Structure formats: C-alpha cells, structure tokens
Amino acid sequence: MQDIRKKIKLMRLRSMKNRKIILTMMCIITAGCLSVLTACSSDKTLGTAETSATAATIEVSETAEAVETSEAAVTTAASETAGTAETSATAVTTAASETAETTETSATAVSKTADAAAETAAGVVCSAVEDKEFGGIFTSAKIDAFTEAGIEYGDSCTITFDSGEIYEDVPFYTGYYGYVGQLIIVDYPAYDSVKLTICDGGSIWKESGCKDGDRFVISLEEKGRYLRTQEVMNMTFSNNMDDYESEESFANFRAIEGGNMKPGILYRGASPVDDVYGRAHCVDSLIEKHGIGFVLDLADNEEKLDKYRSTEKFDSPYYMSLYDDGRVNLTGLTINYRSQEYKTALARGLNNMASVEGPYYVHCTMGVDRTGFVCVLLECMAGFSYEEMEKDYMQSYAAYYNITAESDPDKYDTLKNSKFDDFIYMLANQDGSGSDGKPGQPDISAVKDTDFERCAFEYLTSAGMTEEEYMTLKERLCGTGAAA
C-alpha cells in the first residue's frame, strides 16, 4: 500500500512539471504572435496573424486540457488501483481473520473432544440427583457408562466431587453388600441409575454437601478388590409365585415364634401395598387370612401410599380397610437404626401398635432388613436367644434365595455376619461401634450371652419411650405379667 501511494505522488509531481512547461510555451507563442501583429501593415495581414495566433492559442489550450485530462485519468486510475489494493488487503485480512477464527473453533472442538475422551478414560462423569428417601445420591449414569470406563462389579473406585470432596476405596456392587456404615456404589435392579449410598447408615447426600446437578467423577482405583464379596453376595430371586413352595414363601410371610412371644401375635413379611415385586395382592390376602389387626408399615408415607393407590393394578382392599380404620402406622423409616431420628419414629410407631389389639404385621418392601431389625428388637424384648433370632432373620434368605446353612454355608455366614450380627452387636453396645472401630464387622462371640431384654429396654427408652409404654408393648406381645 505504501509503494502504491508513493507512485501516485510521483505521477502528480510529473504532471505539475508538464503543466509549467506548457504555460511557458504559451507565453512564448503569445509573444511571437504580438510581434507578428506589430510588423503587419495591412488589415488582411493582421487578420491572418490574429487567426494564426488564436489557432495557436487554442492548440496550446487543448494541449493543456489534454494533459490535465491525462493527469486526472492517471490520478483516478491510481486511486482506483489503490482502492482495489486496499479492498484486496482488507479481503485478505478478513479471510485470514475468518481462517483464524475457524482454526480457533476447530481447536476448541478438538479440545472439548479431548477433554471428554480424557474424562471417559479417567472415569464416569456424573450429575447428582438426591435420593430423598434414603439420603443417597443417584448418579444419572447407567451401567454402560461404567463398562466403557473399564469399571466392573467388585472393583474399588474413587469418587471425586467438583467441590473437592474425595472418597477412596468405594466398592461397586449389584446390591447392598457392604458392611453397615460403608459407602458403596450400587447398581440395584429396581433403580433407574447407579447410586451412591451408605449401607444401613447415614446420608451421603448430607455428608458430601451435595446439591442437585453437582458434578462428580467415579474412577477406577483397583480392579477386583471386592470381587469375592460381589460373587458371594450376588443373588437374584424370582417374582413368579410358581417358583416358590407356597404363598407364604413367595410373600416371605411368617409368624415370629420363640422366647416368651405369644403364638400368632406377631407376623412379618413383604409389603401388602408396594407392588414393585408383584407380591402386594398376595400379602394382602395373607394378612386378611390371619386376621391382622394392625400394620406397622416401615417403608411408606402418605405420598407413597397415594402413588400406589393411583395405579390401575392396585389391589389391596384389606390393607386399605385397616388404614381407613386408623390401624396402619406409616413410619417411613430408612435402615439407619443407629440414628436418633430412626429411634424416635420407631418408638412412636410401636406405641401406636400397642394401643390396639393384635395380631400385628410388620413389613417394609421385601421384609428383610428394616423388618429384620425391628423384629430382632421385639424378639430381644420377648426374651429370644441369639440362635432363635438368627433362625428367624435368616429364614428370609431361605425364602427368597434358598440359602441356608446347609445349602450354601459360605453365603449364609457372609450374610449373617454383615447384617444380623451387626443388629445384635449394636444393641449390645448401644454406641453403634464394631469391635475394631468399623461398624458392621463385630466380634459377635463377645456378646452372644448378653441380656438382650435389657438391650431392647435401653434402646427404646433412649428413643423416648417411657417405661410404662415399654411395659404395655411387652404385655401385648408376651402376655399379662411379663417382667421387665
């Protein structure tokens, strides 16, 4: 651009020089013409001279105009050339800028793709969704995402929240196979996505300070660290009644017998209203058959009950007749039986139960863990031995999975140690700690001969139940004259 402007300036200078030369010539010619006019002696000669002078002047003028026209043309052409050059330069600059922007956009896209690939290689990127019932965290991720990241059942994982919270050595299971109080990642069949949860314990949602939509990454820490537990504990059951010996087995339904418990006063089993496993109507028929007078519903609240009732397949008329008559207590418990919130809600429900005549029915969803703990507590009150309580609790695994001490001793012992023994150890110690400081891994031999009736009394009175209320409940279950 600077070279073009220099050429234009040079052309203008040359044009000015030509203009000076033309003016000088005009002066000389004009002077010559005047001399001729002076020398002429006749009019004719004068007229001829004037005509010649005029012609010469016109010729010089036309020459000057032509020069000016040429100069203007040259200037215009130069300007147009400069404009074209400027336009070309602008176009080049614009094209370069657009190319740079395109390159930056491509680089950004490549960067994002690389980041996504790095995140996938590093683990599963999750978005937190609150499990409002149990205090867990749904990950929004399906099992396929874990498979792509190379994470399998039985692996140990690290969970890293964007907030900075990090949880290490977290097992990945298909069920609730961890010890009590242990954080696990669970791909449970009934859930829409993989979930983080504390086994039979507190709320990981509150502990982590999580909010809906918060981002975290689950990455592989160690392959197969918990594979043995996954293999031993991985169990499935059928929802087809034809696969069971009886309706009672299908519904995990039974009377609790032993100790000082009155025969036919207390029953336990699966839910008569939550039909997630296709058992609700069967259970409802059984509680009607056995004349149940009160239901202690450990799993549900009003909102959940309304949801069940709104479905077309809801068919639990006997349960609803008890509910309408005020003989159902919707307790809505988690499995965190160490917490004061749990204790308080349970004591309130048991007081309501003791206010009416039995028989009584205790249930959660499947009638295993939440129901299992409450029944162990009432069995302690009724003077059951350790062996009697073990037999009742483990019968649920015989009903659903055909697991007994004889059929599969390895699984039987693992289940007993991780679940039932923790109930007993916690009640015996009341502080909730295991013998090695880890809940769920107790030295049960040290507490087998404990006074379990005292344990039940201490647990329920610490929950807010008075001694009089305790005695009323005990008399309902064990008969008049039952001693504390």
Choose among 418, 406, 443: nearest CA to 428.
443
- CATH fold of 241-478, please? Protein-Tyrosine Phosphatase; Chain A (3.90.190)
Superfamily (CATH H level) for 124-233: Bacterial fluorinating enzyme like (2.40.30.90)
Please name the residues in contact with 118: beta carbons below 8 A apart, sequence gap of 6 or more.
Answer: none
Task: Extract the tokens encoding 462.
Answer: 């610490």
What number is the average pLDDT over the span 91-117? 44
Q: How do residues 280-334 score in pLDDT, each as one tens digit? A: 999 999 999 999 999 999 999 999 999 999 999 999 999 999 999 999 999 999 8
The domain ranges of the chain are: 2-119, 124-233, 241-478
- Report helix, strand and coil shares of the chain as percent, to nearest 5: 55, 10, 35
The predicted structure's pLDDT at residue 264: 97
Task: Extract the tokens encoding 406.
Answer: 């004889």
| Cα–Cα distance measured from residue 389 to residue 375, given in angstroms and rounded to the nearest whole number | 9
Q: How do residues 338-397 score in pLDDT, each as one tens digit? A: 889 999 999 999 999 999 999 999 999 999 999 999 999 999 999 999 999 999 999 999
Question: How far, in Å, are 14, 15, 91, 137 from residue 83 at the CA level?
Answer: 22, 21, 12, 67
Q: How do residues 387-441 score in pLDDT, each as one tens digit? A: 999 999 999 999 999 999 999 998 899 889 888 998 998 899 855 444 444 544 5
Q: How do residues 247-258 score in pLDDT, each as one tens digit? A: 999 999 999 999
Choose among 234, 315, 331: nearest CA to 279.
315
Task: Extract the tokens encoding 477.
Answer: 């279950």
Q: Is 174 helix (H, G, I), strand (E, B) or coil?
A: coil
Among 5-19, 44-58, 169-183, 235-249, whose mean pLDDT is lowest? 44-58
DSSP code per residue over 361-406: EEE-SSSSHHHHHHHHHHHHHTT--HHHHHHHHHHHHHHHH---TT
The burial of 71, by beta-carbon neighbours within 10 Å (0-12 exposed, 13-18 middle, 19 or more buried), is given as: middle
